């Protein structure tokens, strides 16, 4: 079903009563449906990302609809589902429980000596499992209707359920992870579904993933380095230090981008953690790290993917913070628009 755009002015001011980017689409007539996941239970640093979908929705009304690379992709329809208030309330409760637990283990005390904290950890892990099942069911239903799906976090742990749903549609695909962190820790801090374990959990439970290509990594532990080294090149990591050194020595970003794309298979899932960017673009993200990439560097990689003929099958955008002046949300909305246009350009 196609939406009637005859009365819609893409050059005019956005109408707040409309949906994401001020577009007049419904779930039924949109080719792409964005699922907001208001969840940040396992964040070990700054909070705020659970409420970023609502803030990104507001900021998106200021995004101009003309994209010189993917001009009319939005006309195929983008719709963001309402934020699930029950899920948000569950997040708020478990976030406090997780903070109690994290403060306890930071004190150096042993978990097995405290029955209350043992119960708290179990409750948090069960809640995160529930969230993943919710995302899986929601995304699976949309995929069954022939929709493209994008996920909007929340923290990075929110992507697992959607990737599992995609694995039932595609026999084999790769992940392009844009991030400051490897997220390859096993059960980080005892939290089974930690944001720091999202890629470990994904590779461990989704056999259809043939390749994980990580770009922008600059904060990782020894266990993650060992995981990469022992992956038999299933995980290929472009550490930021090495990227910058290659450029300092004269290599162009074009050469590097082409090399990154060459490692990706024909079907690609994009996992975009905003802390992969320079913190000037996302100062209020949960775990900011000095250094980072520019948006246009990543947009160039996306362009190279499209030119290669490879297909983007889904994406998540996570870790956008909430800022007093609305800056992080503004950046998040523009990344979301680019990702939406990318996947719709191949529709």
What pLDDT does residue 18 have? 85
pLDDT value for 1: 60
Strand 267-273: give its sheet, edge to edge. 78-80, 32-37, 148-153, 311-318, 267-273, 173-178, 209-217, 235-239
β pairing state of 78-80 and 32-37: parallel
Q: What's the pLDDT at 111?
A: 85
Query: Percent of the chain, pLDDT > 70?
Result: 99
Q: Above 90 in pLDDT, residue 129?
A: yes
| CATH architecture observed for domain 20-345 | 3-Layer(aba) Sandwich (3.40)
Average pLDDT over the chain, rounded to an integer: 95
Check whether 45 has a pLDDT greater than 80.
no
The pLDDT score that the predictor gives to residue 310 is 98
Kindly state the percentage of the chain with pLDDT values over 90.
Answer: 85
Instruction: Output the pTM of the full model.
Output: 0.96
Q: Where are the domains of the chain?
A: 20-345
d(CA 278, CA 192): 29
Beta bridge partners of 33: 79, 149
Q: What are the pLDDT digits (tens) for 139-196?
A: 999 999 999 999 999 999 999 999 999 999 999 999 999 999 999 999 888 889 998 9
- pLDDT tier, 109 (very low <50, low <70, confident <90, very high otherwise): confident
């Amino acid at each position: 079903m196609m939406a009637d755009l005859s009365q819609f002015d893409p050059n005019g001011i956005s109408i707040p009563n409309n949906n994401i980017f001020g577009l007049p689409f419904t779930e039924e007539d949109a080719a792409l449906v964005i699922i907001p996941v208001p969840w940040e239970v396992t964040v070990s640093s700054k909070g705020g990302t659970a409420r970023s979908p609502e803030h990104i929705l507001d900021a998106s009304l200021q995004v101009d609809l003309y994209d010189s690379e993917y001009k009319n992709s939005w006309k195929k329809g983008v719709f963001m589902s309402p934020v699930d208030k029950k899920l948000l309330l569950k997040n708020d409760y478990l976030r406090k429980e997780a903070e109690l637990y994290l403060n306890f283990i930071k004190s150096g005390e042993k978990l097995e000596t405290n029955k209350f904290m043992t119960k708290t950890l179990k409750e948090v892990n069960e809640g995160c499992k529930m969230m993943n099942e919710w995302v899986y069911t929601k995304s699976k239903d949309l995929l069954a209707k022939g929709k493209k799906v994008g996920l909007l976090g929340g923290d990075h742990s929110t992507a697992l359920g959607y990737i599992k749903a995609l694995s039932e549609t595609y026999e084999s695909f790769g992940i392009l992870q844009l991030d400051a962190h490897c997220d390859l820790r096993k059960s980080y801090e005892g939290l089974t579904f930690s944001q720091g374990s999202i890629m470990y959990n994904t590779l461990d439970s989704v056999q259809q993933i043939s390749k994980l290509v990580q770009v922008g990594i600059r904060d990782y532990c020894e266990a993650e380095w060992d995981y990469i080294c022992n992956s038999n090149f299933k995980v290929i990591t472009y550490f930021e230090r090495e990227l910058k050194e290659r450029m300092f020595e004269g290599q162009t970003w074009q050469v590097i981008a082409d090399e990154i794309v060459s490692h990706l298979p024909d079907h690609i899932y994009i996992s975009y953690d905003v802390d992969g960017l320079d913190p000037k673009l996302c100062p209020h993200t949960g775990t900011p790290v000095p250094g980072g990439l520019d948006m246009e560097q990543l947009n160039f990689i996306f362009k190279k993917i499209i030119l290669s003929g490879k297909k983007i099958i889904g994406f998540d955008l996570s870790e956008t913070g909430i800022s007093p002046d609305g800056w992080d949300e503004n950046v998040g909305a523009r990344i979301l628009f680019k990702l939406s246009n990318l996947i719709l350009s191949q529709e």
